[in-house]
Structure 1
Amino acid sequence: MKAILYVGHGTRSKNGAEEVREFMGRIMERSEVPIQELCFLELTDPPIEEGFRRCVERGATEIIVVPLFLLAAGHIKEDIPKELALLKEKYPGITIKMKDAFGVQHKILDGMAELIRNTVPELSAADSVLIVGRGSSDPGIHVAFSEIVCGIRDRLPVNHVSVCYLATAKPSFDEGLEQILQMTQGQVVVLPYLLFSGLLLSEVNHKVLKRQKHGQRIVHTGPLSKHRVIEDLIIDKASE
């Protein structure tokens, strides 16, 4: 029997974890696969091993692993495959198939552009967009964000589109925000390239609010899971 095991990153934020569970509850209701479980790589329960075990206990003989990750970095290339290799040894009779990260897709870029338009209905050529990534030392991530910047620039009539990162990579969020505010005559739209809320997004919220209180023209779209396109992509990924 087929099962789907969704693997989230995990967060120390209780609200962030609950948001993921509610979001994935909607996904599971839309899917026709009889066995579906949600687990997390770190920080949030249940861990991957427990989610996998629940699938097996419910009768799964084939488990499709769907990582809830936008881009392929260390977690996709190393951490999750390592966990699955151990589970393959423990459950040799179970077929395991792992899906790729979502990658840079036209549908996601279209959804990002629509999320920006919904946040700023009267978007003008004087406005700018700051895309905020989680950050990674993987060089492929920087290539992907270059594609994302170009994709948003092609879809929106704005003055400038740039990217910054919350950890590991440069420029930092503070640096990127300061730079784009200096070069923008209109308002700055901050778009976190994150699926869900969590401590990282709380940091973005706090700093945007602080800037707003000082009279700077800056708005924040919220996470990408606010757009229906992400739900649709997860369903498509699971049924490929």
Structure 2
Amino acid sequence: MSLDGLQIGKRDSQLWIEIDRAGKANAMTVAMMEGIASAIIQASADDKTQAVVLTAKGEKLFCAGVDVREQSPDGDAARQRERRSHALAALQDSVITTPVPIVVALNGLAVGAGAMLALMADGCVAVEGAALSLPEIDIGIATFSGANILTVLGGRALAADLIQTGRRLPAQDALNRGLISAVVERGELEHSATKIAEALGSKNRAAFADNKHWINRGLCSALEEARQEHARHRAKVQGVGK
């Protein structure tokens, strides 16, 4: 199945979702985020789908995050910010709450929301030279979600380092910190992702889902808190713009 900016298809017992928007640095539109979330949710309802693998086309960028330049279909910029926020929240929730394992195959640099997806997945394998980046501070905006995700998963020191400097975290460093599962040569990426997805997908589905729920409960709480702060921030910006 092909959606605008996405390629989605089954490979044996796995659902593979590929971001395919190289001309826009694989940045995700609202429709793309909704499409990925919908595909993940549908996979979780299919007993024949044991795992979902999320990757991207190309050799430089996995995903540049959310496409903040996407224009609103009705010309309402404030409403478009709300759409982006809700679509991203639904996508994040699908990754951390769906019963089936979600594996990210990181083919290159993951920025912003792209990095968050890699961090929140049940497994992540990256090519040598890939990196994670939350550089919002470099364009003068805060990342409440990114800060909370990194604090929960990597600890305060790492969160303060990456969030406040905007620097990239090389894949090997992410592996050493336990944030991703493996670093491989580019030619081994799909094979490695398949094997991780097979290993996780072979587990008892109900037990895996229960464990995932408890493992991610702190992350879910942190994300909810961050989303509330994002909403207050959007309301303030909207009020200033009137």
Q: Normalising to structure 2: TM-score of the pair?
A: 0.28
Q: Normalising to structure 1: TM-score of the pair?
A: 0.28
Higher RCO structure, 1 or 2 (CA under 8 Å, sep 6+): 1
